[in-house]
Amino acid sequence: MNVFGVDIGGSGIKGAPVDLTRGELTADRFKLLTPQPATPDAVADTVREVVANFGWSGRPVGVTFPGVVVQGTTRTAANVAKEWVGVDAAGLLAARLGAPVTVLNDADAAGLAEMYYGAARGRRGTVVLLTFGTGIGSAVFSDGRLLPNTELGHLELNGHDAETRASTRAKEEEELSWAHWARRVQRYLVHVEKLFSPELFVIGGGVSRKAEKFLPLIEGVSAEIVPARLMNNAGIVGAAMAAGAAWPDPVVAA
């Protein structure tokens, strides 16, 4: 089955049709800049443009969101416009796209993709995927089953919201060396390990492409640590997976 996946990020909104039997995009993804301010209305219009670029209509669409999503409603908005809090995002997008829509947290989507097609494929036990980017996203799995919206990026680390210290945005803004940033990531992983004792950490986000620069520097973590494999496409693939799984019972435009 082919399902369309859209990944809403702080800087770009990208999408492509996904072949769910292989977990691969069936066409090159199309990306537009995230409108600023990233209000629900403006973002919904951009999502529509991305989907329309493929002539996709009427069939299921999965969409990621960089915040908590419960039953299609967005509950937090750490790195997008605050107007998203309390919005029926699935209903808004279903109406705008004229298609059934499933919305889920961006890191949860990336986690689903890595769990079924990528670095954590077939892994049992507790697996924690962390995405490092503008914020830190998390996806927690027990025997392959997702516990959604864990938001581990907002754990407290040395008196700070962890993502303000250990995200790649913090690395860039503070111009931290790889070694300095790796020490912060290490402290963060040690903390998450105390809480969940995972067997495997999957490190995602754009920085997973540069894993060799910082993963070898991390010590004191018992769990295996591996970079994500789907790179930039994990969100799109995971969004499509969620929409495919919800079908034929997703949000359908009234």
Q: Which residues here bind ligand BGC, judged by CB under 6 A?
A: 66-68, 76, 78-79, 105-107, 131, 135, 137, 151, 153, 163
Secondary structure of 156-225 in HEC code, one letter for each residue:
EECCEEHHHHHCHHHHHHCCCCHHHHHHHHHHHHHHHHHHHCCCEEEEECHHHHHHHHHHHHCCCCCCEE
Complex with ligand BGC: residue 147 or 253, whichever CB lies closer: 147
| CA–CA separation, 12 and 2 (whole Å) | 23
Q: Residue 73 is which amino acid?
A: T
Show the tokens assigned to 177.
């060396």
| CB-nearer residue toward ligand BGC: 167 or 186 | 167
Minimum Å gap between C-beta 34 and ligand BGC is: 12
Element (H, E) at 240: helix 234-246
Helix, strand, coil percent content, the chain, rounded in steps of 5: 40, 25, 35
Find the shortest distance in angstroms from Cβ 11 to ligand BGC.
11
CB of 154 to ligand BGC, least distance (A): 6
Residue with smaller CB distance to ligand BGC, 60 or 133: 133
| Residue number, 53 or 164, with CB nearest to ligand BGC | 164
Mark out the alpha helices in 87-177 (DSSP H runs). Answer: 89-97, 106-117, 162-166, 168-173
Nearer to ligand BGC, 94 or 107 (CB): 107
CB of 65 to ligand BGC, least distance (A): 8
Beta bridge partner(s), residue 161: 156
Q: Supply the minimum distance, in Å, between the C-beta of residue 80 and ligand BGC.
A: 9
